[in-house]
Amino acid sequence: MSTNETAAGSASGTATEEFDLFATMALIRAFETRVSELYRDSEIPGFVHTSLGQEAVAAGVGSALADGDYVATTHRGHGHCLARGMDVEAMMAELFARGEGICHGKGGSMHIADPAKGVLGANAIVGASLPLGVGAALSSKLLGQGRVSAAFFGEGAVNQGAFHEAVNLAAIWDLPALLVCENNIYAEFSDSRRMTRVPGVADRAATYGIESETVDGNDVLAVNELALAAAARCREGAGPFLIEAETYRWHGHYEGDAQPYKPEHEATAWRERDPLVVSRTRLLGTGVAAEQLDEIENQASTRVEASIERARQLPPPELEEAYADVYGE
């Protein structure tokens, strides 16, 4: 599979070579790095939350899903969209609020969606990806489609009522829902460990009678293997499965957050476990040449750069389009 094909998300639901997973992570890294800079320079409007440092979760889970599967994501969802093959140019145009953006410039970073790729949407409401994802899993089951629905959520969402209602329904109806918690330790500016007496998110699964597993969220291969097994289980009708991926967000809650609440030694330790470095080191150990991996990263940057150049040239949406596609129109 070529780098482009990988980044286009041609997931098959079978084991993906780590080389391809690395390429997807490189694309997410290049995209998020530039988005951060463009937001700082006021080229991208609105609010932006990047997933730098969390690339392995998006790539590992995204590559474990098959065509037709659903994804419901969060305010930190660029990586999930890219890992499911959302078009890079259409995504960047959307972030620039251009009429040719994937949502015609009306969604932006936090409401980006692409039903054709099964991406039901990013979401500004913490916890809302769960009922949406579980609802899609219900439709899949009722229609006998065999589609798996992955709902991504942060650990900050698990004390929301929506989490409990959605997980319980998914459990009693044996829905094909892959519940993916990206535990990056922080919810906005607070340490999530101080918000509950239950130390692990995965521990909560037992209270709903479903299975779960905690995984190193900075190890793309480990995430991918677990997600493949969990998705296969969902497809066989065994009901939902909860994955807790332990990871870390490198940047602030939103771009511009100086993160005074994070201890420096903690941030440094997690940066040393950079998911791309973890993967690169393993690939080098299997005999892959460093130049090959450099080339993948260069291709990702070139692709992202081209999407920026294009977005800059595009016009904003026409004024007459303001109410088009709006409910009730």
Ligand X SMILES: Cc1ncc(C[n+]2csc(CCOP(=O)(O)OP(=O)(O)O)c2C)c(N)n1
Residue placing its CB nearer to Mg ion in the complex, 54 or 279: 54
- For β-strands 70-72 and 119-121, DSSP reports them as parallel
20 contact, one of ligand X, Mg ion, none, CB 5-8 Å limit per kind: none
User: Using CB atoms, what's the residue nearest to ligand X?
Assistant: 154
Measured at CB, which residue is nearest to Mg ion?
A: 154
CB 323 within 8 A of CB 105: no
According to the binding rule CB under 5 A, does residue 184 interact with Mg ion? yes
Q: Return the closest-CA partner of residue 152 out of 107, 113, 183, 182.
A: 182
Question: Rule CB under 5 A: is residue 154 a binding residue for Mg ion?
Answer: yes
Distances (CA, A) of 323 to 12, 101, 104, 328: 38, 16, 11, 9
How many residues contact ligand X, by CB under 6 A?
16
Helix/strand/coil for 158:
coil
* Of positions 121, 131, 133, 156, contacts ligand X by CB under 6 A: 156
DSSP string of 242-275? EEEEE---SS-SSTT---TTS-HHHHHHHHHT-H
Judged by beta carbon, residue 76 or residue 303, the one nearer ligand X is 76
131 and 118 Cβ atoms separated by less than 8 Å? no
Contact set for ligand X, span 27-86 (CB under 6 A): 75-76
User: Which span sits near Mg ion by CB under 5 A: 27-35, 131-139, 186-194, 226-234?
Assistant: 186-194
| Residue of the chain from 64, 82, 90, 126 that contacts ligand X (CB under 6 A) | 126
Binding interface with ligand X (CB under 6 A) = 75-76, 124-127, 154-157, 182, 184, 186-188, 253
Binding interface with Mg ion (CB under 5 A) = 154-156, 184, 187
